[in-house]
Amino acid sequence: MQDIKLLGLDADGVEKEYSLADFQGKKVVLYFYPKDNTSGCTQEACDFRDNINRLTSYAVVIGVSPDSIKSHKSFKEKQSLNFILLSDSEHKLAESFAVWKEKSMYGRKYMGIERSTFILDENGNIEKEWRKVKVKGHVDEVISYL
């Protein structure tokens, strides 16, 4: 598993440091999203939240974005999120999964997260991946796979 350590908020909103190695022996749904409190990211997070009981019998759910812990805390409280959020402000984890990409909006180029989801097996290996995720119906795809 990746030995990158990131600050995050657990399911109860408590701040702590995580490494994917902490989840050795468990499957992990690791999803990368661009930004807290934006429409697509909020919908995706709420879909994971609303289906958490269907997911946690198979895997731990972890959301990752470059947003700060303060932003995550607000997002988590506002949306009543019930899974781990990690702050990857230096995009180390995003780069290790090759989801930190050049993007373009209105002709402007910038670096950001390509919305992606990975299923990691109990040894931390990528078992399944979805890149350039479309939010609508995605959580159902993940559940169907699991």
- Which residues participate in catalysis according to the annotation? 41
Interaxial angle between packed helices 138-145 and 39-50, expressed in degrees from 0 to 180 and rounded to the nearest 10: 40
- What is residue 122's three-state secondary structure? coil
Expressed in percent and rounded to 5, the helix, strand and coil fractions of the chain are 30, 30, 35
Asked whether the beta carbons of 94 and 66 are under 8 A apart, the reply is yes
Asked whether the beta carbons of 66 and 89 are under 8 A apart, the reply is yes
Asked whether the beta carbons of 93 and 99 are under 8 A apart, the reply is no
